[in-house]
Structure 1
Amino acid sequence: MIVQRFVHWRHTANSAGRADAARSVAQAYIEGRFGAAERSEAEATLTLMLDDPSPKVRQALAEGLATAPGVPAVILRALCDDSDAIACPVVRGSPALDDEDLVTLAAVGSEAVRRAIVARRVLSVRVSAAIAEIADPAVCVALLENDGAAIAAVSYQRLAERHGQDADIRGALLARDDLPATVRQQMILAAGQALAALPLLRSLVGAARAEDVTLAACERATAKLAEVAPAGEIPTLVEHLRRSGQLTTAFLLRVVSTGDIDLLAAALACLSQTAERRVMAILAGGRQKAVTALIVDAGLPVSMGPLFWAAVSVWREVAAGKRPARPEEVPQMIIRRVVADPGSREGPADTDEAARFLHRLANEAALDAARERARRLAA
């Protein structure tokens, strides 16, 4: 009887009245006010409303059913295939849509529909992967800002590959606590490259100086990233740095001067194709010849051996308590050790360049320490 009454009534009702009827029937349906026999008739009535020529009626129906469980799939999918104003409330809120529905909607829907998908309270890894693969930067930012979105490492990588040059994407990626260290380092590098390309910076300090400054900042940020990255991610991070050409002598000097022996060991193991346990044993207790041989096996010039030996020796003494020192003091101690070594003073030009680099690291460490003391005093 419900269906017959509705069919006769809708021919004389205006669109506003039909919209009110859609809300009422939807509300009664989701509240369970129909008996078993009437429920099938109510579903048939709702189905007829899908064909109403007025979008107001279909929108009222969508809003009434958007957050309700147990709505027939055929009704929900028809609403999702309607205009954005009608589809989006359902896409955003319906608990009855499964991953298959959402992945399909992500593939064929508009950007507005994709925004509705990423606004859902919870998103599975599969749905997040679909969004990461096809959505524009604004939608991907919304995905990253959704704390209820489960995102796999491969999807983070795709986001970085597709939109890594977008500043908003970089910021949203870096704000994720579960971002893999490799992707975080890629975003650090992308941010540095964007900074180096700024016309204002290049006009102020020159193109070469801008690139040097941003490269140094990226190296520092990468070294700090390695300090806080989970131990299980370090080998993957090191391999990423190797493949991208970032495991340079300068970077390794920065690592050893700051005492990140775990990262240094992983890097040297990767470059020299030596077991990390063996590398760690050499760094912890090996003689100068063994350390130098390791440096050479890693592809560094033999002239770098004395510098790395000096750094390793200083950190051994600090770790053993033989030479009390604050971390920011260690680079200067390494420099003094290098200067005191006659062999290092007589080395080739690349040794002098490396020594100048160590001086710069010492200045950076002293400045960082001064800034930290100033912040503590100001707090």
Structure 2
Amino acid sequence: MSAVVQMRPQAQPEADSATAVLVELTRKRSPDDRQRLLMGVAALCESTAGNRAAPALGQIFVALAAQAEREIRLTLSERLAEAAWAPPALINMLALDEIEIARPVITSSPVLQDADLMRLLIEATLEHQIAVARRPGLSRRVADAIVERGESVTMTALASNRTADISEAALTRLIEQSRRLAGLRAPLTRHPRLNEALARELYQWVGQALRQSIGERFKIDDALLDTAVKDAGDQAVRSGGWRAVPISPREDGDRRDMEARLVEKLKTAGQLRPGLLIRALREHRLALFEQTLAGLGGFTEAHTHAAVRAPTAEPLYLACIAVGVDRAVFPSLLVELRKLTGGYPGDGGWTASTLNPPAAARAFLHIMEKSAEV
């Protein structure tokens, strides 16, 4: 009689033991036990990544994480931040969680794709969007979307991200935005994709320290600034001699009176600032611009009115320097003003000078007095 031997699969005590532990943990409800359960499932997912069991384990993982306490989700986010095997649904869920939990995966997770990051720009909070803008190696598609949305703090974060793939067109738009957003200027001056042509444009909007930084990189000097100023202006009407233009009584008298009262009120309160000049132009309030310039410099309205309509920009330049306008800001001011006046003040016949405000004020008044004699 022959003996029958029954063959049994070889036991896997370590795997069985680990599984038994996880099963036991599912019956418990304490935060520590749930954290151990999640970490155990995470280890199991990592060890089975790529096989047929992985998707099912991923679904279990997502279901468990959705019910986990805040501290557990934070620990999970930090552990999975750089895990290529992590379930995409779980990473996207964590990316939409509160920002402290979301930040590690937004910043580092290789699982997040451009479509996921674009979704965060649309659906998530501003803090999430900033984290997206700071993500290392950010793609051109997402960088373009950030610039297109035009959110100031997100664009500033993007400008500070030296590894982002920012196109020249997007960088040009950021430089244009730096005219109104001072926070963009410093990171843009240091940006590795800044070229000489863009540096010349940026040079007009930054302060002295940043101009020096740009000059050291691209050898830009004040002569280039002068050229940029003249090129930026519209090709305006030219005339043979300089002559003051009187204020027409037909111009909106009520509007001018209203603006004059506003300027006087701000001046009395100590709140009259050069920045109101740019604001007035952007709001298409030419009378307010002239009244503000007069109030800041102690000039007459006739003087500022004449400077705005002069055949060259020299008197206006001197008046602006006299009241504290940075000469790097003057090009943008001039362009905006010419849009409102049909090209005035005219082009040519002036250069950016190094006069201090008191000297510029004296030079401006001297021109006004001479013009009155003509």
> What is the TM-score with the length of structure 1 in the denominator?
0.48
Kindly indicate whether structure 1 or structure 2 has the higher relative contact order, using CA contacts under 8 Å at least 6 residues apart: 2
Instruction: Judging by fraction of residues, say which structure has more helix.
Output: 1
